Homo-oligomer: A and B are copies of this chain.
Amino acid sequence: MHGLIGKMTAVEGKRDALIAILLEGAKDMAGCMSYVVAKDPADATAIWITEVWDSPASHKASLTLPAVQDAIKKGKPLIARFDQSVVTEPVGGHGLNPVKGR
């Protein structure tokens, strides 16, 4: 499995709009086992995204999906910066969707 833990900062006042775009864009991504968008309660502009994919290739392929391309286009102007991005190797747990649609 392939995991990502990232933190981004939205443009002031645009966090909710950015979150809505992220959630909309993340529907129906093949190989995506978990994708969680969270607010940072300590910072009104910060967003945490945690992802689990069945492989790095699935994650890479998702970036070419029309819905994801659209989300990137709409979301970009609302992002002030990327603060942190960590690649992980998930090994187990709960809430990992079975892989479908491949």
Q: Which residues of B contact A37 (CB under 8 A)?
A: 90-93
Cβ contacts A43-60/B at 8 Å (1 or 0 each): 000001010100000000
Set B36, B48, B88: member contacting A95, Cβ < 8 A: B36
Where chain A touches its partner, the secondary structure class is strand
What is the bound-complex CA distance between A23 and B92, given in angstroms? Answer: 7
Set B23, B36, B89, B94: member contacting A41, Cβ < 8 A: B89
A-B contact pairs, 30 of them (CB 8 A): A5-B48, A19-B91, A19-B92, A26-B94, A32-B94, A32-B95, A33-B94, A34-B34, A34-B36, A35-B93, A35-B95, A36-B52, A36-B90, A36-B92, A36-B93, A36-B94, A36-B96, A37-B91, A38-B89, A38-B90, A38-B91, A39-B88, A40-B86, A40-B88, A40-B89, A41-B88, A48-B88, A52-B95, A94-B97, A95-B97
Query: Which residues of A approach B to under 8 Å, CB–CB?
Result: 1, 3, 5, 19, 23, 26, 32-42, 48, 50, 52, 86-97
